[in-house]
Each structure stands twice: as C-alpha cells, then as structure tokens.
Amino acid sequence: MPDLVIRNLHANITDTDTEILKGIDLEMSKGEIHAIMGPNGSGKSTLSHVLMGHPGYEVTEGEVMFEGVNLLDMAADERSRAGLFLSFQYPFAVPGVTVANFIRMAVNAHRKGGPDGADNPVRIPEFRKQLMEAMEMLEIDKSMASRSLNDGFSGGEKKRFEILQMAMLKPRLAILDETDSGLDIDALRIVSGGINALMGPDMGTLIITHYQRILDYVQPDRIHVLVDGRIVRSGGAELAKELETTGYAEMANKEAVS
C-alpha cells in the first residue's frame, strides 16, 4: 500500500454547506515527488490544509491514511508529530518569538512524541549547530535567527524560513504550497537545492505550484491537475509542459468530453 492514500476526499468550509474539495483521490509513497497544479481558487491550498488539519475545514466524506494511520482523527499538532509538514502559502508572523526559540520549541515538541512520551529536549549546543547548518544550506544570514518569526519578513524570506523549519523538523511527508512564489531566481535555486538535499527514500514531497521552473530543479515523478475541487488529470513530468501550451480550461474541457 502507498504511504499516503487519499480516497474520495470531500471537504466543506466548517459550519457551512460550501464544498471546496469534491472527491479527491491521490496516492503516493515516500521517496516520490508529486506536483499539484491548477487554476487559482481550484482548492490546492484547501487540500493542503485539510491534510494538515486546519480547523476551518471539515471533511464530509472520504479518508486520508498516512503510513497506515487515519490522519483525519488527529489535530494538526498530532499530524505534525506523525511526520507531516506544510510549507504555508501565507505563513503567519509570531511577533516577540525568535526564529531560534520557535524552532527549538517545535523540535522539542517532536522529541516529546517519542515512545515513552516524556520530555527529551534537545541540548542547546547541539540544536544551535543543526540550526546553523540548515541556515547555511539555505544561505540565510545567521543574524536572522534572533528576529521574530516572519515578523516584517519579505515574501521570499518567509518562504525560505518555511523550508528552514522543514529542514529542522525532518518530515516524512512535506507539502509545499507555492513555496516557489515570491522567490527570486537565485533564491529559487537555493531553496530547491535545500529540498533536494532533504529528499530521500524516507520522505515524500507534494509540491503545489503554478510554474514549471521549480519542477526543473525538483523533478516530479507525477503531476496532478486540480480543477474545481477534483483531480482532472494525472500524468508524468511531461504533463507540466503540455499545460503550458493548452492551459487549464482546455484540459478540463477535454476531460469532461473524454
């Protein structure tokens, strides 16, 4: 069985009848990179939040299994500790909390989830070393570690810090929601390099993007096209090129007649 199984997933905005996800099926395994593309407002971010456990959406039908466990029963923090990570399209600022302190708390929260459930905080020198290494990899200036998380960060800086958090938390399934948007050309290369360095047989990556460019660096095994809350087409890496010429509307139409 694949590590991630999404079956007939339907989701509404919580406490409303507005359905955003209208039956999504998707399977992937660790070691794979999948990409999701689709028009604005088609439900890509909603899918990522439903997978992560955003309380603003409720699942009305379907299931999501990761490594054999039902994610839908878990709160967001439990999913994180179960190995999920979401790089947000719009990360939030946490004024007054430094990057270093925040990441240390997150790392410790993950370590707490160990077999005996007891606290097992990372030793500070060890943590510092890991953080500095990850910051070097992402070419982030050291002084940024003592700034408040995302507070006054530029759009591109926020994205880079999402990947920094990912590097420190070492997820087994990473969902990257438009991590490439807002990155300049050099930053895209650096961040993509970081993602590739973290990828391996124990991690799966789901990249949500509008652009071919990131897929040139982080090469996907499969591409899924999401239109109006449904996956209308899946295929190999060549699908992205096809989309560039046909566009979503035409592809959605083709699907409807075929």
Partner 1 sequence: MSSEVADVDLGEYKYGFHDEENPVIKIERGLNEDVIRQISAHKGEPEWMLDFRLEAYKIFLSKPMPNWGSDLSGIDFANIFYYLKPTELNARSWDDVPETIKNTFERLGIPEAERKFLAGVGAQYESEVIYHSLKKELEDQGILFLDTDQALLQHEDIFREYFGTIIPSADNKFSALNSAVWSGGSFIYVPPGVRIEQPLQAYFRINAENMGQFERTLIIVDEGAYVHYVEGCTAPTYSSDSLHSAVVEILVKKGGRCRYTTIQNWSNNVYNLVTKRAVAEEDATMEWVDGNLGSKVTMKYPAVILNGERAHGEILSIAFAGEGQHQDAGGKITHVAPNTTSVITSKSISKDGGRSSYRGLLRVNKEAEGSKSKVVCDALIIDPDSRTDTYPYINIMADQVDIGHEATVSKLGEEQIYYLMSRGLSEAEASALIVAGFVEPITKELPLEYAVELNRLIQLQMEGSVG
Ligand X SMILES: Nc1ncnc2c1ncn2[C@@H]1O[C@H](COP(=O)(O)OP(=O)(O)OP(=O)(O)O)[C@@H](O)[C@H]1O
In angstroms, rounded to a whole number, what is the distance separating the alpha carbons of residues 111 and 115?
9
249 near ligand X, judged by CB under 6 A: no
Task: Give me the least distance between CB of 218 and Mg ion, in Å please.
Answer: 18
77 near partner 1, judged by CB under 8 A: yes
CB neighbour class for 180 (10 Å; exposed up to 12, middle 13-18, buried from 19): buried
Question: With contact defined as beta carbons under 8 Å apart, do 163 and 188 qualify?
Answer: no
Task: Cite the beta strand spans of 142-188 per DSSP E.
Answer: 148-149, 173-177
Nearer to partner 1, 106 or 132 (CB): 106
Residue 209 binds: one of ligand X, Mg ion, partner 1, none (C-beta under 5 to 8 A by kind): none
Residue 73: phi and psi, rounded to 5, are -80, -5
Nearest to 14, CA basis, from 56, 63, 73: 56
Task: Give me the least distance between CB of 105 and partner 1, in Å please.
Answer: 6
209 near ligand X, judged by CB under 6 A: no
The span of 39-47, 75-83, 114-122, 160-168 binding ligand X (CB under 6 A) equals 39-47
Residue 59 binds: one of ligand X, Mg ion, partner 1, none (C-beta under 5 to 8 A by kind): none
Task: Cite the beta strand spans of 120-179 per DSSP E.
Answer: 148-149, 173-177
In angstroms, rounded to a whole number, what is the distance separating the alpha carbons of residues 228 and 209?
16
Q: Which of residues 44-73 bind ligand X (CB under 6 A)?
A: 44-46, 56
Q: What string marks each residue from 5 to 44 as x (binds Mg ion by CB under 5 A) or -?
A: ---------------------------------------x
Question: With contact defined as beta carbons under 8 Å apart, do 227 and 24 qualify?
Answer: no
Task: Give me the least distance between CB of 109 and ligand X, in Å please.
Answer: 26
Q: What string marks each residue from 66 to 105 as x (binds ligand X by CB under 6 A) or -?
A: -----------------------x----------------
In angstroms, rounded to a whole number, what is the distance separating the alpha carbons of residues 188 and 206?
17
